[in-house]
Amino acid sequence: MELFYHPLSRYSQKVLIALYEKQANFYPRVIELSDPLSRREFCDFYPPGKLPLLKSKSGELIPESSIIIEFIDSEFSTGTRLFPIDRRIALDTRLQDRLIDNDFSNVLFELEHQKLEDGDQNHIMIKQLENDISQFLGYLDKKLEKNHWLCSDGLTLADCALFPCLHCAQDYFKLFQYDNLNRYWHQAQLRGSYLQVKEEVELAAGDVLSGRRPIP
Ligand SMILES: N[C@@H](CCC(=O)N[C@@H](CS)C(=O)NCC(=O)O)C(=O)O
């Protein structure tokens, strides 16, 4: 099994957390999408050119972080079960995963993009995006009143999606203001899978700062 990814891509981090939770072996293939040659080479291999991408043992190409994780969970009986057996909890897991990708991760992308743009016009846009994310953080805080992890007592796909978003959001938002979310975030930061991904992110970020590696 091969994973095409970049350590600084949030959707790649989501899949890495799942792979480490499953204790699944894979060949890491780091792709630098901002390097024109690597991008062209990757796009020849996989025309949509999006990361992450999994190549299964049988050579099947599987895109989309949530689908990759569903594939890994069904393929490996080892480690954490990422899709709960209980059908209602499994449905909630899928729902939270969709909400996190659409209403948190993608909004964070837009916020990061707007913050990089230097101009007066985008202040209102930035405020709006920050409000949207704060509202979503409030929603998560409420949901975490009842559960140890986001959807149940066990870690699921939804937590794989959430950890990378919180890792990024902690730079812009005061997560400690949300009691349950703060408890959850402390607990997440002690999880082995998160620590492994964090180490890889920090190494890659260091390379970007020192000019050795472009950002995807
Ligand atoms: N819905 C996709 C999103 C994948 C995605 O947007 N990946 C970004 C990196 S985080 C990417 O490959 N962007 C490259 C591009 O759009 O050129 C997933 O869950 O995997």
16-29 per-position pLDDT tens digit: 999 999 999 999 99
Alpha carbon separation from 50 to 43, 159, 216 (Å, rounded): 8, 22, 10
With respect to residue 141, please indicate whether it lies within any of the assigned structural domains: yes
Atom of ligand 1 nearest to the CA of 101: 19
With respect to residue 27, please indicate whether it lies within any of the assigned structural domains: yes
**pLDDT > 90? residue 215:** no
Residues 6+ apart with CB under 8 A from 69: 14, 15, 18, 82, 157, 160
Structural domain boundaries, residue 168: 87-192
> What is the Å distance from ligand 1's center to 177 Cα?
31
Which protein residue has the closest C-alpha to ligand 1 atom 11? 50
pLDDT digits (tens, 9 = 90+) for 111-140: 999 988 866 678 889 999 999 999 999 999
Is the same domain home to 25 and 69? yes
pLDDT at 122: 84
Question: First vs last Cα of the chain: how many Å apart?
Answer: 22
Which protein residue has the closest C-alpha to ligand 1 atom 15? 50
DSSP state, residue 114: H
